[in-house]
Amino acid sequence: MRRLSLYLASTAAAAIALAACSGMTGTPQSKMSFFLTSTNPGKGADFGGLAGADRYCQSLAASAGAGNRTWRAYLSNSALAGSPAVNARDRIGSGPWLNAKGELIASNVDGLHGPDNKLNKQTALTEKGQIISGSGDAVTLHDILTGSSPDGRAVSDGKDNTCGNWTKSGEGSAIVGHHDRRGLDDSAPAKSWNSSHPTRGCSLDALKSTGGGGLMYCFAQ
């Protein structure tokens, strides 16, 4: 009986220690509600539309242990071929949003699109908790696809600002922001995180030519 008691006690202690360790390693991802995609799925700005982009965000979140929430890509749709415009800001929920380290990015939609949001190179982390290179690094990947105006809405200028609503990987253009809020060198003025300039095309090569890699922001609703 004494041996059984000692065995049960040691087993219980081991279980508690394992649970504690699991909690420590899983806490950041369990709280994560924002990330910058770590890579492009392979077709440039063609994600298969908004639904495909959302699925990609969801899959990356799941790979990081945060797939129990509903994830949306921060992308707008242009009003093309009779389809209504879609605003990125209307797709992402109400906040607050935390990165993979549990750091606050913004408390709500207005704060995210205001001057006091906390989104920058050090906080715009991937689903893996990694920093993406930006201006001044050996490889610049700060062009982040959004198709949006600074206030997070579709641009109504009659042009394709979304690579055919995220279905093109060749000719076309999309608006990008700079996650590091910098120009091509450190002396350039700060840029917008979600609306800095158009791309030269929709393929991966075209996106890379202006300092991008076909990455996008993902938010949990």
CATH architecture of the domain 27-220 equals Roll (3.10)
Dihedral sign, CA of 181, 183, 186, 188?
A: negative
More confident: 20 or 153: 153
Q: Which two tokens stand for residue 108?
A: 């709500």
Q: Quick check: 70 and 220 in contact, CB under 8 A?
A: yes
Task: State which amino acid sits at residue 110.
Answer: D
Each residue of 156-202: pLDDT tens digit? 898 899 999 999 999 999 999 999 998 765 555 668 999 999 999 99
| 210: number of Cβ within 10 Å | 17
Predicted structure pTM score? 0.85
Written as six digits, the tokens of 57 are 């965000």
All structural domains of the chain with their residue ranges:
27-220
- Measured distance CA(174)–CA(163) in Å, rounded: 5
- The 10s digit of each residue's pLDDT in 126-165 is 999 999 999 999 999 999 999 999 999 999 898 899 999 9
